[in-house]
């Protein structure tokens, strides 16, 4: 029997998982840690420390500004050097807190022991408060605050929790290495989430190329009722929320603004489940994460456990330094990651990888006429017509773009990476999406 | 840090596909038919093909260099070679050279370059050239050399094609095996069904095209001619003869599947294929031409923008309750 997957579109990029067999190593502590105030969707957090303040590992340094915002904690101990701006992975200068590192002293409330907490007897509200106070956001890259996800709109009956362990982006192995490293903690985290959502069943969706993780987790969940490990056929972008829900349950989330909750599902990344365990059972806020540092010319590609705020350059040094033929540094994977302007960019909550591409791989080729080969239409996992939306974007025909469902685009990049004419399809689609989104907001506020 | 970094948005990798790769694979898939045409029609097939390909490439270069004044010539993409090959495959092996050159000019000039070159042409360029020649040089375009005259060119002995015999001398049709191997009169590249099917297999294996267009055309033709044959077998010939004769294989595998002039979704491709099959049968059985493939494809080319509007892909979740 062939494994399940989603039905519309999708591509099969070369997986290039250079680091799948590598255990997680601790990253070196930075000399200065930088915490951008925008590490989540929603409004930037508000600093609650001042220049010169002493902080410990786990000290709250910025408070959420609104429902969709999140807490930020210091991942290092030391002194607040300044509150300034830093160029983050978006390429923009954004406000950030700079902390000079002195020693490594932790907040005493954090349980740093290795002992596994198996039973968590807390009320739902208390758990959600802990998750919010720990500053947990979706760690797959979307950075949606997890406590919001755990309070689905009333009227939506949630019956399935889906754990996203797909990691369909080429090169990245952060989730894979975490599953091999801490399977027990992840399963306790999943049980905490199930309890919070009041669901009887959880499904861990993993792509088949991670056979060792599938086997390990299957062994662990044998004794746990309600959790199933489901191997999925390899296909990008299976880690997309809607694609994963369809692959696992066969249900299709309606077009925006419908949420996954409308088909009874909540999807949480496996790294987030681990962070939930640490927050709830160990009282440890989100201060570190696994980052894959990789690339074809990197001498020592590795999976590192990194304190948030560490600069990307420091991780690259630990992986053997920046290769001579480097032409592009990417935060995230090669399909959806963001190009970095330099190596000073700090690791944030959503940074799953640092990918270094060499000249040949990174350069775009000259754009040619669309030859109407329809490969983009075939590849689009949302059933859109990328060639048409891109042309509408190029010409500024926002009406055509809106009628062609541009707002459903998940920006996975399948269209552009298959186009034989090398059209920058996604660039134009994004432009159209931004403009149509603005027009829709204006229309709604004008009512 | 000493290096300069490239900044461009995601996706950062590409599957490696290019226009050239697709075009070169189509040329590769046309080679079996080219070899077969040489074996069947001899030196004439080669003369016609070389003339057509060279003049198509020359006109593409001249037009883009001197009329459109483009700095970069698109000759390298291989599409002019394909147009030249397909035009030649649609001609009898005894065509005079000047007529082929004129046909090439119409195919490349009026069929493609006036619209802005590859990607913008609404009609299949080779068919535009072929239909121009059929109307302008009707007698030469229907003088079909008899197979196996290796050294003959314009002096070849000619005879009727199988489809030309239909309705007049149904009992003198060639055997299925002869039609499958191409031992019949006809345009030089269309007669050998075996070679064309090998080409189809190559196109499918390298995922240059999907099966939808060729298979629906062939099925539609088989079903419609089958019905007519069952109704009155003394007037109408059997579906297998229709499938193996005329330009049906060449047209459905190589001409109707042209990226630029075919629909963008599988659903659209199926309707397009049904349309071509239907029109072909209507022209073959009731029209004044024995062969209808070229006209059927050109007519359906014109409808492709409408098909694209009717047959849009199923938007994710649209049908969910």
Asked if A245 and A268 sit in the same domain, the reply is yes
Total number of domains constituting chain A: 3
Nearest by CB to B5, which of A251, A341, A363? Answer: A341
- pLDDT tens sequence for chain B (321 residues): 556 888 899 899 999 899 999 999 999 999 999 999 999 999 999 999 999 999 999 999 999 999 888 888 888 889 999 999 999 999 999 899 999 999 999 999 999 999 989 999 999 999 999 999 999 999 888 888 888 887 777 777 888 788 877 766 666 788 889 889 988 888 999 999 999 999 999 999 999 999 999 999 999 999 999 999 999 888 888 999 999 988 999 999 999 999 999 999 999 999 999 999 999 999 999 988 888 899 999 999 999 999 999 999 988 877 643
In contact, A52 and A80? CB cutoff 8 Å:
yes
Beta strands in B130-233 (DSSP E): 144-145, 158-159
Q: CA of A11 to nearest chain B CA: how many angstroms apart?
A: 9
Asked if A271 and A235 sit in the same domain, the reply is yes
The whole-angstrom distance between residue A21's C-alpha and the CA centroid of its chain comes to 21
Residues on chain A touching B313 (C-beta within 8 angstroms): 8, 377, 380, 383-385
Q: Is the dihedral of CA B122, B125, B131, B137 positive or negative?
A: positive
Asked if A277 and A312 sit in the same domain, the reply is no
pLDDT tens figures, A45-82: 999 999 999 999 999 999 999 888 999 999 999 999 99
Note the pLDDT of residue A224: 86
Q: Give the integer Cα–Cα distance in Å for A387 and A418.
A: 12
Buried/exposed A148-160: b ≥16 CB within 10 Å, e otherwise: bbbebeeeeebeb
User: How would you classify the pairing of strands A160-165 and A201-207?
Assistant: parallel
ipTM value for the complex: 0.89
pLDDT tens figures, B123-162: 999 999 999 999 999 988 888 888 888 777 777 788 878 8
Buried/exposed B113-140: b ≥16 CB within 10 Å, e otherwise: beeebbbebebbbbbbbbbbbbeebeeb
Listed residue (B195, B319, B175) closest to B253, CA to CA:
B195
Do the domain assignments include residue A267?
Answer: yes
Asked if A269 and A379 sit in the same domain, the reply is no
In contact, B81 and B56? CB cutoff 8 Å:
yes
The whole-angstrom distance between residue B253's C-alpha and the CA centroid of its chain comes to 7
pLDDT tens figures, B17-50: 999 999 999 999 999 999 999 999 999 999 999 9
The answer to whether the Cβ–Cβ distance between B264 and A368 falls below 8 Å is no
Q: Give the integer Cα–Cα distance in Å for B64 and A304.
A: 55
Do the domain assignments include residue B317?
Answer: no
Nearest by CB to B12, which of A258, A328, A411? Answer: A328
Residues on chain A touching B264 (C-beta within 8 angstroms): 372, 374, 377, 385, 387
Domain that holds residue A292: 29-110+285-360
CATH of the domain at A230: 3.40.50.11540
The Cα diameter of chain A in Å comes to: 64
Q: Give the integer Cα–Cα distance in Å for B8 and B4.
A: 13
Do the domain assignments include residue B215?
Answer: yes
| Structural domain ending residue among the three candidates A360, A391, A413 | A360
Chain B interface residues facing chain A, Cβ-Cβ under 8 Å? 1, 3, 5-15, 17-19, 21-22, 77, 116-120, 259-265, 312-320
> Judged by CB atoms within 8 Å, which residues 228-247 of A form the interface with B?
242
CATH of the domain at B300: 1.10.3430
Asked if A130 and A199 sit in the same domain, the reply is yes
């Amino acid at each position: 029997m062939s494994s399940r997957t989603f039905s519309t579109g999708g591509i099969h990029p070369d997986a290039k998982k250079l680091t799948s067999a590598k255990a997680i190593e601790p990253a070196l502590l930075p000399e200065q840690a930088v915490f951008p105030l925008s590490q989540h969707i929603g409004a930037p957090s508000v600093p609650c420390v001042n220049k010169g303040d002493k902080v410990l590992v786990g000290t709250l340094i910025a408070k959420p500004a609104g429902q969709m915002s999140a807490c930020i904690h210091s991942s290092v101990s030391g002194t607040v050097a300044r509150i300034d701006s830093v160029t983050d992975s978006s390429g923009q200068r954004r406000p950030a807190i700079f902390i000079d590192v002195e020693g490594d002293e932790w907040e005493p409330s954090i349980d740093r022991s290795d002992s596994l907490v198996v039973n968590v007897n807390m009320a739902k509200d208390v758990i959600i408060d802990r998750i919010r106070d720990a500053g947990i956001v979706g760690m797959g890259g979307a950075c949606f605050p997890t406590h919001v996800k755990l309070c689905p709109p009333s009227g939506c009956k949630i019956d399935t929790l889906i754990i996203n362990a797909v990691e369909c982006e080429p090169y990245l192995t952060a989730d894979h290495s975490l599953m091999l490293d801490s399977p027990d903690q992840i399963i306790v985290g999943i049980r905490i989430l199930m309890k919070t959502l009041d669901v009887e069943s959880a499904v861990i969706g993993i792509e088949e190329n991670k056979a060792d993780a599938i086997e390990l987790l299957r062994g662990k969940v044998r004794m746990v009722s309600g959790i199933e490990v489901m191997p999925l056929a390899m296909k990008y972008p299976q880690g997309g929320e809607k694609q994963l829900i369809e692959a696992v349950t066969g249900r299709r989330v309606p077009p925006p603004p419908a949420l996954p909750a409308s088909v009874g599902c909540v999807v949480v990344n496996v790294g987030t489940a681990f962070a939930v365990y640490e927050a709830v059972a160990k009282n440890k806020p989100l201060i570190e994460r696994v980052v894959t540092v990789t690339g074809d010319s990197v001498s020592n590609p590795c999976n590192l456990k990194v304190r948030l705020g560490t600069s990307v350059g420091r991780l690259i040094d630990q992986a053997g330094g920046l290769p001579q033929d480097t032409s592009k540094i990417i935060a995230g994977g090669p399909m959806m990651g963001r190009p970095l302007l330099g190596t000073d960019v700090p690791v944030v909550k959503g940074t799953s990888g640092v990918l270094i591409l060499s000249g040949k791989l990174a350069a775009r080729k000259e754009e040619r006429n669309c030859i109407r080969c329809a490969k983009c239409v075939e590849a689009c996992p949302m059933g859109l017509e990328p060639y048409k939306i891109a042309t509408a974007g190029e010409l500024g025909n926002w009406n055509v773009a809106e009628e062609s469902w541009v707002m459903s685009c998940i920006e996975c990049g399948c269209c552009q990476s298959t186009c034989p004419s090398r059209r920058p399809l996604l660039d134009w689609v994004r432009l159209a999406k931004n403009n149509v989104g603005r027009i829709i907001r204006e229309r709604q506020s004008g009512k | 840090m000493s290096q300069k970094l490239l900044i461009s948005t995601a996706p950062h990798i590409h599957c490696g596909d290019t226009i050239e790769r697709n075009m070169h694979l189509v040329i590769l898939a046309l080679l079996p038919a080219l070899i077969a045409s040489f074996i069947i029609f001899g030196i004439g097939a080669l003369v016609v093909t070389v003339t057509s390909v060279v003049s198509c490439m020359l006109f593409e270069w001249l037009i883009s260099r001197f009329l459109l004044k483009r700095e970069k010539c698109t000759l390298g993409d291989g599409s002019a070679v394909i147009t030249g090959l397909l035009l030649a495959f649609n001609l009898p092996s005894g065509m005079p050279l000047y007529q082929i050159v004129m046909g090439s000019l119409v195919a490349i000039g009026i069929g493609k370059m006036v619209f802005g070159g590859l990607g913008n042409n609404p009609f299949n360029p080779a068919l535009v050239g072929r239909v121009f020649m059929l109307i302008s040089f009707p007698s030469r375009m229907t003088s079909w050399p008899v197979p196996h005259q290796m050294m003959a060119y314009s002096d070849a002995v000619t005879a009727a094609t199988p489809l030309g015999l239909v309705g007049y001398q149904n009992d003198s049709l060639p055997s299925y095996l002869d039609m499958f191997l191409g031992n019949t009169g006809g345009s030089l590249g269309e007669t050998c069904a075996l070679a064309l099917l090998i080409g189809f297999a190559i196109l499918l294996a390298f995922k240059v095209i999907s099966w939808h267009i060729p298979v629906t055309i062939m099925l539609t033709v088989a079903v419609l001619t089958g019905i007519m044959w069952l109704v009155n077998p003394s007037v109408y010939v059997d579906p297998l003869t229709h499938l193996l004769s005329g330009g049906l294989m060449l047209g459905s595998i190589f001409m109707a599947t042209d990226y630029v002039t075919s629909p963008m979704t599988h659903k659209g491709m199926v309707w397009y294929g049904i349309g071509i099959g239907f029109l072909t049968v209507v022209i073959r059985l009731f029209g004044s031409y024995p062969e209808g493939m070229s006209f059927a494809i050109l007519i359906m080319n014109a409808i492709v923008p409408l098909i694209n509007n009717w047959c849009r892909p199923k938007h994710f979740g649209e049908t969910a309750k």
